[in-house]
């Protein structure tokens, strides 16, 4: 019998709808406790309410708490897999943070819900059930952190929330899901060919995230030059281009030694140094901007936060971003 640790961190999956007002709020008792019988005969479950946070309240420091608890459990008990329930707004960020920082091959699966447990069409219990089946699967080992929602299995590195309310909100642009859950059967048909891990004990750096837009001037970037930021991530235009008015601030930060990581604000595709004009990706890369192919802005920010805990060397940072 497999032993699965379930860590509850809050979010809609742990909330209920007030029938008189329609407001969604945390429940005094975890609603999923009513459904433990679903698993009792086939798996040993250990459940912990490690946090109780709406996902917009989640911080990298909270993510570190979850990471430390997972490592502690792996070292001290006989668990075969971990399931983490989480609010969906920042689920992809916590998933990627854990993917970057947990050096373990056992299945680690994150799930959540788009509808409270007592609402018609609630998806929480089914998502949790599918996450447990996935964590029990031998095939889920050594695949990094997985996100299981709406009967699909996604890799933490690329999955993102694409709809504010739809239960089919989690998607992997460009690549698609790496597997599905059908009844109790867990089936994988893709896998990541590269993995990376950066074990850390703290996460204290300051890394803002900006999004480029048509007519963007230098105000936001230049205002950061005199600040004490440790790095900057920008969701650039297209394949990785910036409006010319931003260049003065970008060059000033580069001269100051601040690592600048560039992604694309586009939903699909990757950031590349293609265009050779003022503000184009080719000139930005030649100036020292670091490209993060395949990562969204929020995930590139998390990776930079994690990598900066290990080193501030620009060559090292460039290598770990551009090799994957």
In a 13 Å sphere around the CA of 264, the CA atoms on its Cβ side amount to 18
C-alpha torsion angle, residues 241, 244, 246, 251 (rounded to 10): 90
**Same domain for 103 and 246?**
no
Residue 193 has pLDDT above 90, yes or no: no
Task: Check residue 192 and give its pLDDT.
Answer: 76
Pairwise pLDDT comparison (323 vs 179), residue with the higher score: 179
Q: Which two tokens stand for residue 75?
A: 């070292």
Residue 309 has pLDDT above 60, yes or no: yes
**Same domain for 127 and 269?**
no
CATH number reported for the structural domain that contains residue 308 in this entry:
3.40.50.40
- Quote the CA–CA distance of 52 and 26 in Å, as a whole number: 8
**Same domain for 115 and 234?**
no
**Same domain for 23 and 91?**
yes
Is 142 part of any domain? yes
25: Cβ contacts below 8 Å, ≥ 6 apart:
15, 16, 18
CATH number reported for the structural domain that contains residue 64 in this entry:
3.40.50.1170
**Same domain for 167 and 271?**
no
On whether the CB atoms of residues 66 and 50 are closer than 8 A, the answer is yes
Task: Check residue 25 and give its pLDDT.
Answer: 63
On whether the CB atoms of residues 136 and 152 are closer than 8 A, the answer is no
**Same domain for 258 and 222?**
yes
% the chain with pLDDT above 90: 79
Domain boundary among 188, 221, 247: 188
Task: Check residue 24 and give its pLDDT.
Answer: 62
Residues 72-84: tens digit of each pLDDT: 999 988 999 999 9
Residues 3-15: tens digit of each pLDDT: 999 999 998 887 6
**Same domain for 155 and 223?**
no
In 3-state terms, what secondary structure has residue 61? helix
**Same domain for 160 and 236?**
no
Is 195 part of any domain? no
Task: Check residue 272 and give its pLDDT.
Answer: 93
Domain that residue 305 falls in: 209-322
Pairwise pLDDT comparison (161 vs 37), residue with the higher score: 161
Among residues 12, 85, 134, 263, which one is catalytic?
12
Element spanning 117, H or E: none
Active site residue 12: yes
**Same domain for 164 and 36?**
yes
On whether the CB atoms of residues 230 and 205 are closer than 8 A, the answer is yes
Domain boundary among 154, 188, 222: 188
Residues 255-282: tens digit of each pLDDT: 999 999 999 999 899 999 999 999 999 9
**Same domain for 249 and 144?**
no
Domain boundary among 136, 157, 188: 188
φ/ψ of 309, rounded to 5, equals -70, -20
Task: Check residue 142 and give its pLDDT.
Answer: 93
Is 289 part of any domain? yes
Is 44 part of any domain? yes
Residues 102-144: tens digit of each pLDDT: 998 999 999 999 998 778 888 889 999 999 999 999 999 999 9
Residue 22 has pLDDT above 60, yes or no: no
Structural domains counted in the chain: 2
Pairwise pLDDT comparison (183 vs 70), residue with the higher score: 70
**Same domain for 70 and 217?**
no
Is 225 part of any domain? yes
């Amino acid at each position: 019998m497999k032993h699965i640790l379930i860590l509850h961190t809050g979010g809609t999956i742990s909330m209920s709808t007030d029938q008189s007002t329609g407001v969604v709020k945390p429940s005094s008792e975890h609603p999923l406790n009513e459904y433990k019988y679903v698993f009792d005969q086939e798996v040993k479950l250990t459940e912990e309410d490690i946090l109780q946070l709406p996902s917009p309240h989640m911080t990298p420091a909270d993510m570190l708490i979850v990471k430390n608890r997972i490592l502690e459990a792996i070292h001290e008990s006989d668990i075969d897999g971990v399931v983490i329930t989480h609010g969906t707004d920042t689920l992809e960020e916590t998933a990627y943070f854990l993917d970057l920082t947990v050096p373990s091959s056992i299945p680690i699966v994150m799930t959540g819900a788009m509808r409270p447990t007592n609402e018609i069409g609630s998806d929480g219990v089914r998502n949790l059930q599918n996450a447990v089946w996935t964590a029990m699967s031998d095939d889920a080992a050594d695949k990094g952190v997985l996100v299981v929602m709406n009967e699909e299995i996604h890799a933490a590195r690329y999955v993102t929330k694409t709809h504010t309310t739809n239960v089919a909100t989690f998607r992997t642009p460009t690549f698609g899901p790496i597997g599905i859950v059908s009844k109790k059967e867990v089936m994988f048909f893709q896998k990541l060919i590269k993995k990376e891990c950066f074990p850390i004990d703290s996460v204290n750096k300051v890394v803002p995230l900006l999004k480029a837009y048509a007519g963007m001037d230098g105000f936001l970037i230049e205002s950061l030059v005199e600040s004490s930021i440790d790095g900057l991530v920008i969701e650039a235009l297209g394949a990785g281009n910036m409006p010319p008015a931003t260049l003065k601030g970008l060059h000033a930060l580069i001269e100051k030694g601040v690592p600048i990581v560039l992604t694309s604000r586009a939903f699909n595709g990757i950031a590349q140094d293609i265009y050779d004009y003022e503000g184009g990706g080719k000139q930005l890369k030649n100036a020292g901007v670091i490209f993060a192919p395949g990562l969204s802005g929020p995930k590139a920010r998390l990776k930079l936060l994690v990598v900066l805990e290990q080193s501030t060397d620009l060559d090292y940072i460039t290598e770990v971003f551009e090799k994957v």
